[in-house]
Structure 1
Amino acid sequence: MTNLLPVADGAQVRRYARDLFRRYPRALSLTLGLHVLAAVAGLVGPRLLGDLVEAIRHGEGVGVVDRLAAAIAGFVVLQAVLTRFAHLASARLGERVLARLREEFVDRVLTLPLSTVEKAGSGDLLTRTTRDVDALSRSVRLAVPETMIGLITVVLVVVAMVITSPLLAVPLLIAVPIIVVGTRWYLRRAPEGYLRQNAVYSTVTDGLAETVEGARTVDALHRRQQRIERSDADLRRSWAAEKYTLFLRTAYFPVIDVSYVLPVVATLLVGGWLYLGGSVSLGQLTAAVIYVQMLIDPLDRLLGWLDEVQVGAASLARLLGVAAGAGEPEPHGAEPVGTRIEVRDVHFSYVAGREVLHGINLTLEPGERLAVVGPSGAGKSTLGRLLAGVHEPTAGGITVGGVALHDLPLDKLRNEVALVTQEHHVFIGTLRDNLAMVRPGAGDDEVRAALAAVHALDWALALPQGLETVVGAGGHPLSAAQAQQLALARLVLADPHTLVLDEATSLLDPRAARDLERSLAAVLHGRTVVAIAHRLFSAHDADRVAVVEDGRITELGSHDELVAAGGPYAALWRSWHGERVPDPDDDPWEEDAARAGATR
C-alpha cells in the first residue's frame, strides 16, 4: 500500500477555518445580521398570536383583532424577505470562501515535490482533488450556513421563551441532557470515522488507477486475479469504514429525534397545569407552545447538518495536509553564484537498504553538454531526477552555484534546472496556452519560435484553428511524437540555464530525433544540457560522456577519449556504429553487452 499524504489535525483545521472566514469581515457581518433579523421577525409572530388569543378571550373589538392579524401577516412577509436576502448573502460568502479554498489547494498541489506524489500514489491526490473538494464544497455552500442559521434561531427562540414566561421555558431542559450526551458521543467518533472512510477510498482509487494505467502489463503478466483480489480487499475496507459512519448516524439521529418531541409534550403538560393554577395566561401558553414547536426545525437543521460539517472537516483536514506534504524548504540566505552544478559523493535509494546510486561525483561546467549512457536499470534516469531536484540524495549533496538544490524554493529551482522525460502531458486548452503556461507573458513570435525550434511549427499551424486549436482530453488529438515536441517547446520557452533531457526524443523516429537534437543544440547554445539517451549520436555530439553502470560512473570523458580507452563505451560505440546496422529502437547496450564485454 502507498504512503498517503499527511492529514492536518483538528486544531489546524479549526484555526484555518476561523482565519478563512475572518478574511471577509463585512460579508460575514452582513450574513449574520440578516439571519438574526430574519429570526427575530419570525419570533414576533407567535407573541402577537398569543396577544390575539388574549384579545379575543377578553372580548376586544374587531379593530384590535384586525390590527394584530395584520401585524402578524406583516412580520411573516418581513421574515420571508429577510430570509431570502440572508440566504443570498450566505451563498455569496460561501462561494467566495470556496473559491479561496480551491485556489489555495491548487497552490499547495503545485508545490508538491514529484517524489512526494509518487510515494503517495496518484489515487490519494486524485481523491483529495475530486471527492474531498466536492465534499468540502457541499459543506461550505450548505452545511456551514444551515448550521449557522439553526444555531442563531435556537438561541433566539430560547430567549423569546424566557421573555414570554420563564416558567414555560423550564420544560426545555428535558432535552438538554439527551442532546448533549448524544452529540458528545457522536463527535468523539465521527471525525476519525470520516477520515478513515476518505483514506480507504483513496486506496480504492489508487488501486483502480494503477490497474487501468497498467492494463497491458497486467494482461501480459497474467496478473488479472491479483488485481481483482486487491480491488476486492480495498472495497471491503471501504465498505467497513462506510458501515461504521452509517452506524454513527443511525444511532445518533433517532436519539436526537426523540429530544425534539419531549419538550413539546412537556410544555403542553406543564403549561396546562400552570394555566389552570393561574400562573400563566392563555396567550403566554399559546406563544410558548408555538415557540417550542418552532425549535424543532432549527434544531433538526443544526444537528442534521452537523454530520455534513464533520464530512467537510475531514475533507478540509485532508486538503490542508497537502501543505505538509509540500515540504517547503527552509529559507536560505545565499543566492546561487553562477550555474555550475556539483555532485559530491551522492547516494540514493528509493527503499531503505537498497541503494540505486553509490558515491556519484560529477561537476557540470556552465554551458557544457553531458551525455549519460549505460545499461537499462543502471541509474541514469535516477541521476537525472536528482540533478533536476525531483529527489533529494539520501547521502551526499548537489549544489548549483554553491547553493544546495534542496534549499532552493520550488519556483527558483525550476528557473535553474528543468527536466523533460519520456512522460509528457497535454493539458486541456489551446495549443498556445499549453505552450505559454511556462511563460504567461510570452508573445506570439516567441511561441512560434519555440515551436519552430523543435520542428513543430508546421504541424501546429496546420491544425484546424492553428495555435488556437483546443487540445488535450476531449480536444484535437495529438500524437505521442507531437506531444513530446510540445513538451520540448515548453522547455525552449521556459529558458532555464540547465536542462535534463531523459530520453526526451525517444518517441520520434531516429532521423527526426537526430535533426531535432541538432536544432535544439543551436537554440540551447550556452546552456548546460544533460542528455540521458540510448541513441549514441547524442553521446558523439556531447562535450563529455558519463557511463553509468550499477549505480556508479565507471567512465567519464569526451567521446574520442572513451573510444580510445577501449572500455565499455568503446565496445558500445563499435556495436552501434560499425559492426552492424542498428535498429534505432534497440537498447544497444543490452543487445551487445555479452559479446562486447560491457560490464553491467
Structure 2
Amino acid sequence: MNRPAHALLRSTLRARRREFVRLTGWSLVQAVPALLSGWLVARAVDNGFLADRSAVGLGWLGLLACTVLLGAWGTRQATLQLAGVVEPFRDDLVTLVATGTLHRSARRAGPTDTAGVARLTEQVEIARESYGAIVMFVQTFSVTAVSVLLGLAALDPAFLLFVLPPLAAGLALFLLALRAMAARQRAVVLADEAIAEQVGAVADGLRDVTACGAEDVVRARVGARIDAAAGAARALARLTAVRTAALGVGGWLPLVLILAGAPWLVRDGVTTGAVLGALTYVSQALQPALRGFVQGLGGSGLWLLVTVTRILEAAGPTETEAADPGDADPGNAPPATAGSGRRRAAEPGNAPPAPRDGRVELCGVTYGYARSAEPVVRDLGLVLAPGTHLAVVGPSGAGKSTLAALVAGVLEPQAGRIRLGGVPVRDLDRGRLSRSRVLIPQEAYVFSGTLRENLAYLHPTATPPDLDAAVHAIGAQALVQRLGGYDATVDPAVLSAGERQLIALVRALLPPARLVLLDEATCHLDPAAEAVAERAFTGRPATLIVCAHRISSALRADLVLVMDGSHCRLGTHDRLMADCALYRDLIGHWDERAEPARSASPEGTLEVT
C-alpha cells in the first residue's frame, strides 16, 4: 500500500485539530449525566428516601433529569460538529480513489478498472460512515469511562477495585483479538471485490459467453467467488464472538462483583445509596458506552481500517508499475488487479508460455455441460499440423461450438488435454490471447467507438497499411467507405449482422495468431463474401478451424471433421463422401453451389475411443 491507513487517520486528526477540539468539548457536555448520575442517585437514596424525606429524594432525581436534558443537548451539538470532521475525510478519500483510478487507466490498456469504480461508490461511503461512527464511539466511551471512574471514586474509592480490573481485562481481550478480526474483515472485503469484478467481466461478455457455450464455466467461476465470500463472512462471524466475551467481562462482571461485595462494603461503612449509585454508574453509563465502543470498533472500526487500506493500495501506481516501461503491445498486456502491478515482460521468470507453431493436439478430450449429462465430446483425440485448414461439420447440437471453445481454451475439458504448439491452451497467457489464438463466435461483437478502435482491438500497434491490407483481404472496403473511414464513430445498433461479422473478421486477421477459430463467423455473409474471408485466413501461416455453415466451407478445407456426439470422422471431402453416411446426408441438405475443392496434402490424425 502507498501509506498505512493509520498514518492517513493520524494526518486527518492533525489537519482538523480545531474541529476535534470543539467535538471533544461538546462530548464533555454529553458526559455530564454519566459523571453525576450515580452521585445524584446516592444522595436521593441516602438523604431523601431512606431518611423519610421523599421530597428531597425527588428533588435529587429531578436534578438528575436536568443533567439528562443537558446531556441530550450536548449529544445534538456533538453530532452537528461531527460533519465538520467526517465530510472533509470523505473528500480526501474520493480524491485518492479518483486519482488512483485515472492513473491506472491512463497507464494501461485493457479492461476498465471496475474495482476502482466500486471503491469510489461503495468503499468510500463505507469508510465515511464508519469513520463518523468510530469518532463518536471512541469519544463517547473515553469521556464516559473517565466520568464513571471519577464518580465511583467520589462515592468511595473501594468501588474502583470492583470495576477497574474487569474493565481493563475486557478491553485487553477485545483489543488483542482486534488484529485477527481485521484480517478476517479484509478477507470479506476482498471477496466482495472479487465478486464485483467477476460479475462485471461476465456482464461485459454475456454475448460471447452464450455464443461459446461457456455458461457452466462462468457459473462455476462466479459460484466459487460467492462461496469464498460466504466462507470469509462465516470466519469473521465466529471471531466476533470475542466481542460478546469482552463485553461480558468489562460490562457485566463489575455489576456482579459490586452486588457480591455489597455486604462487605456496607460493613465497612459504605452507604446503601452509594452502592445503588455505583450500580447506576456501571449499568446506565459505563456498560452502554462499553457496548457501543466494542460493537462499533469491532464492526465499523474494522470496516474503516480495511476499506481505507484498500483505497490507499489503489490510490497510485505500485513500485512495480512505476518501474515498468510498458510492453511493446499494450493492448495485449495482461490486466492487473487492484493493488498489484503488472508482471514485467523483462523478467524471464514471468514470461508467459508461447506456442512454437500452430500445431493443435487433443488427447482423450471429454466435455459435458453437467456431470450427470451425456458428454458432448467424448474421448476425442485429434492432431492437426501447423497451417491445416479444418472444417467442422455436423447436425445442430453435435458439439461444434463446444469443440471450438475447448480448443480456444474458453472451456476446460473434464478429461484429457489440449495443446497449441506444444503448450496447454489453459496455460497460455489470457492477457495475450490474440498472440496465440483468436476465436470469432457466430454473434460478432462490435463496441461503440471508432472503426479503427474496433478493427485494431486485438492489435493496437497496427499501422494504416496493415489495416488497409486486412480490410482488402476480407473484402470490407465498401463497409469502411460507407462508415466514413477508420476514424468514423461506429454505432453497433445500426450495423447489420453481416457488417458486424466483417468487422470482427478484419479484427481477427490483423494479429499474428497461430490459430484462428471461426465458429460460424461468416453465417450472415453471402457465399461469395464468405469465400473471400476464408481465403484471407488460409493465405496466412496459421492453423484455421472453421465450424462450417455451408458446403463450400467444407469443400475449401484441407480436412473435414464430422461430429455427431461421441462419433467423429476425419478425412477429406472425397473420402468422407465415400465412407461416411452422415456426411453425405449433410451434403444433401446444403446448397449445392460450391467452389471446387482446394488441392492440398492434408496432414492430420483422429482418434475416438
Counterpart mapping for 1:79-98 below 5 A: 79-98=71-90
Aligned residue number for residue 578 of structure 2 = none
**What is the alpha-carbon distance in structure 1 between the residues aligned to residue 202 and residue 230 of structure 2?**
20
Shift in CA distance, 114/242, structure 1 to aligned 2, threshold 3 Å? farther
Aligned residue number for residue 605 of structure 2 = none
Aligned residue number for residue 106 of structure 1 = 98
Shift in CA distance, 515/227, structure 1 to aligned 2, threshold 3 Å? closer
Q: Residue 14 of structure 1: CA displacement?
A: 0.5
- Map Cα deviations across residues 404-426 of structure 1 (whole Å, 9 max, x no partner): xxxxxxxxxxxxxxxxxxxxxxx
Aligned residue number for residue 219 of structure 2 = 228
Count of residues in Structure 1 that have an aligned counterpart in Structure 2 = 401
- Map Cα deviations across residues 24-75 of structure 1 (whole Å, 9 max, x no partner): 2221111111112210344223322322333226859788657544433322
Report if aligned partners of 2:109, 2:331 keep a CA contact under 8 Å in 1: no
Matched, 1:291 2:281: yes
Report if aligned partners of 1:123, 1:203 keep a CA contact under 8 Å in 2: no
- Map Cα deviations across residues 105-141 of structure 1 (whole Å, 9 max, x no partner): 222222224566858x855435433442343233123
**What is the alpha-carbon distance in structure 2 between the residues aligned to residue 118 and residue 595 of structure 1?**
30
Which secondary structure does the structure 2 equivalent of 1:222 belong to? Answer: coil
Aligned residue number for residue 282 of structure 1 = 272
Report if aligned partners of 1:35, 1:149 keep a CA contact under 8 Å in 2: yes
Report if aligned partners of 1:30, 1:89 keep a CA contact under 8 Å in 2: yes
Identity %: 17
Report if aligned partners of 2:27, 2:78 keep a CA contact under 8 Å in 1: yes
Shift in CA distance, 140/134, structure 1 to aligned 2, threshold 3 Å? same
Q: Say which is worse superposed, 39-48 or 588-597, in terms of deviation.
A: 588-597
Of 153, 161, 183, which residue of structure 1 is paired with 2:152? 161
Aligned residue number for residue 18 of structure 2 = 26
**What is the alpha-carbon distance in structure 2 between the residues aligned to residue 169 and residue 250 of structure 1?**
27
Q: Residue 304 of structure 1: CA displacement?
A: 0.9
List runs of 5+ in structure 1 lacking aligned partners: 1-6, 332-342, 357-479, 489-498, 520-533, 536-546, 552-580
Aligned residue number for residue 228 of structure 2 = 237
Aligned residue number for residue 561 of structure 2 = none
Calculate the TM-score normalised by the size of structure 1. Answer: 0.55
Which secondary structure does the structure 2 equivalent of 1:26 belong to? Answer: helix
- Structure 1 counterpart of 2:88, one-letter code: R
Counterpart mapping for 1:486-505 below 5 A: none
Root-mean-square deviation (Å): 5.0
Aligned residue number for residue 385 of structure 2 = none
Which secondary structure does the structure 1 equivalent of 2:277 belong to? Answer: helix
Q: Residue 149 of structure 1: CA displacement?
A: 1.5
Shift in CA distance, 322/588, structure 1 to aligned 2, threshold 3 Å? farther
**What is the alpha-carbon distance in structure 2 between the residues aligned to residue 345 and residue 303 of structure 1?**
52
Aligned residue number for residue 592 of structure 1 = 536
Report if aligned partners of 1:95, 1:141 keep a CA contact under 8 Å in 2: no
Report if aligned partners of 1:164, 1:284 keep a CA contact under 8 Å in 2: yes
Aligned residue number for residue 571 of structure 2 = none
Aligned residue number for residue 484 of structure 2 = 514
- Map Cα deviations across residues 273-332 of structure 1 (whole Å, 9 max, x no partner): 222332x2334333222112121100000001112201221111111100244669879x
- Map Cα deviations across residues 365-414 of structure 1 (whole Å, 9 max, x no partner): xxxxxxxxxxxxxxxxxxxxxxxxxxxxxxxxxxxxxxxxxxxxxxxxxx
Q: Residue 97 of structure 1: CA displacement?
A: 1.8
Of 427, 442, 449, which residue of structure 2 is paired with 1:484? 449
**What is the alpha-carbon distance in structure 1 between the residues aligned to residue 306 and residue 329 of structure 2?**
43
**What is the alpha-carbon distance in structure 1 between the residues aligned to residue 477 and residue 189 of structure 2?**
39
Matched, 1:214 2:212: no
Shift in CA distance, 209/54, structure 1 to aligned 2, threshold 3 Å? same
Report if aligned partners of 1:484, 1:507 keep a CA contact under 8 Å in 2: no
- Structure 2 counterpart of 1:150, one-letter code: F
Calculate the TM-score normalised by the size of structure 2. Answer: 0.55
Aligned residue number for residue 296 of structure 2 = 305
Counterpart mapping for 1:519-530 below 5 A: none
Name the larger-Rg structure. Answer: 2
Report if aligned partners of 2:35, 2:144 keep a CA contact under 8 Å in 1: no
Report if aligned partners of 1:264, 1:292 keep a CA contact under 8 Å in 2: yes
**What is the alpha-carbon distance in structure 1 between the residues aligned to residue 463 and residue 40 of structure 2?**
79
Shift in CA distance, 174/349, structure 1 to aligned 2, threshold 3 Å? closer
Which secondary structure does the structure 2 equivalent of 1:169 belong to? Answer: helix
Report if aligned partners of 1:109, 1:326 keep a CA contact under 8 Å in 2: no
Shift in CA distance, 186/81, structure 1 to aligned 2, threshold 3 Å? same
Q: Say which is worse superposed, 170-179 or 233-242, in terms of deviation.
A: 170-179
Q: Residue 500 of structure 1: CA displacement?
A: 9.8
Q: Say which is worse superposed, 153-162 or 62-71, in terms of deviation.
A: 62-71
**What is the alpha-carbon distance in structure 2 between the residues aligned to residue 76 and residue 24 of structure 1?**
29
Q: Residue 355 of structure 1: CA displacement?
A: 8.7
- Structure 2 counterpart of 1:273, one-letter code: W
**What is the alpha-carbon distance in structure 2 between the residues aligned to residue 548 and residue 486 of structure 1?**
14
Report if aligned partners of 1:46, 1:291 keep a CA contact under 8 Å in 2: yes
- Structure 2 counterpart of 1:170, one-letter code: L
Q: Say which is worse superposed, 177-186 or 322-331, in terms of deviation.
A: 322-331
- Map Cα deviations across residues 459-493 of structure 1 (whole Å, 9 max, x no partner): xxxxxxxxxxxxxxxxxxxxx89x537999xxxxx
List runs of 5+ in structure 2 lacking aligned partners: 335-344, 355-445, 454-461, 490-501, 504-508, 514-526, 545-609
Q: Residue 515 of structure 1: CA displacement?
A: 6.3
- Structure 2 counterpart of 1:190, one-letter code: M
Of 230, 237, 254, which residue of structure 2 is paired with 1:246? 237
**What is the alpha-carbon distance in structure 2 between the residues aligned to residue 24 and residue 487 of structure 1?**
51
Q: Residue 240 of structure 1: CA displacement?
A: 1.2
Shift in CA distance, 50/597, structure 1 to aligned 2, threshold 3 Å? closer
Shift in CA distance, 62/312, structure 1 to aligned 2, threshold 3 Å? closer
